[in-house]
């Protein structure tokens, strides 16, 4: 059911909009269902975040962000460690307030795994590393190779072009604005011929990229479903 929640719809009143009428009618059920789901999801994410930081060797000051196959990877990590992801109550799905993207994420070819320091009082506040990966690249762990990218550098122009024209294009900002550093993880082949498994954008986390990016990608691959 698609519900029109615009200001005009509510001004016109339930009688003028059947979707609004249904939502208003069930509000006594929707509000407590939403509250319970938010509380359950918050507890689940707190436990999952601690588990993910442990698995990826991250400090307590690092926040994790995921999307697409990255979220599917965390869902599978939780499942393998006995964490039950809270189901979305039917009334919240039927009202259109929430939708379950679990299957969509599981089928996604690409994903994001982002790390950032978000506590304002932390000396590393603002540092961030966004790794986006292509699960269709199928590069063996033993061949994974990190490449530093720079716009205009002919030595990596082919890899930059492959990212810009490939599966990771919509998830990768190839501009080096705001002091960002760019990297790719490939199969180690010559520029222009390499298979790109991941691209990375770093703000102040170049040391972590150089020391840990490949192991992070391997861990992601280990926990991807399917």
- Flag whether pLDDT at 109 surpasses 60: yes
CA dihedral angle for residue 83, residue 86, residue 87, residue 91, rounded to 10 degrees: 170
CA within 13 Å, CB half, 191: 14
User: What angle separates helix 18-25 from helix 27-56, to the nearest 10 degrees?
Assistant: 80
This prediction's pTM: 0.85
- pLDDT category, 22, cuts 50, 70, 90? low
- pLDDT category, 14, cuts 50, 70, 90? very low
The helix (run of H) or strand (run of E) holding residue 212 is helix 206-223
- Flag whether pLDDT at 126 surpasses 90: yes
Distances (CA, A) of 9 to 28, 45, 47, 97: 20, 35, 40, 16
Do 62 and 125 contact (CB within 8 A), yes or no? no
């Amino acid at each position: 059911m698609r519900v029109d929640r615009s200001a005009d719809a509510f001004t016109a009143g339930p009688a003028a909009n059947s979707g609004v009428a249904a939502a208003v009618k069930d509000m006594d059920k929707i509000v407590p269902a939403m509250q319970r789901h938010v509380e359950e999801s918050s507890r689940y994410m707190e436990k999952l975040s601690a588990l993910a930081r442990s698995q990826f060797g991250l400090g307590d000051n690092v926040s994790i962000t995921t999307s697409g196959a990255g979220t599917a990877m965390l869902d599978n990590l939780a499942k393998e460690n006995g964490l039950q992801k809270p189901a979305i109550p039917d009334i919240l799905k039927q009202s259109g307030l929430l939708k379950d993207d679990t299957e969509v994420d599981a089928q996604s070819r690409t994903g994001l795994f982002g790390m950032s320091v978000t506590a304002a009082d932390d000396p590393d506040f603002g540092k961030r590393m966004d790794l986006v990966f292509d699960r269709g690249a199928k590069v063996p762990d033993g061949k994974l190779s990190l490449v530093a990218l720079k716009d205009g550098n002919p030595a990596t122009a082919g890899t930059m072009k492959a990212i810009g024209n490939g599966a990771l294009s919509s998830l990768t900002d190839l501009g080096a604005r705001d002091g960002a550093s760019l990297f790719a993880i490939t199969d180690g082949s010559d520029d222009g011929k390499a298979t790109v498994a991941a691209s990375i954008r770093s703000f102040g986390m170049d040391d972590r990229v150089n020391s840990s990016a490949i192991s992070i990608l391997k861990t992601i691959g280990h926990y991807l479903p399917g």
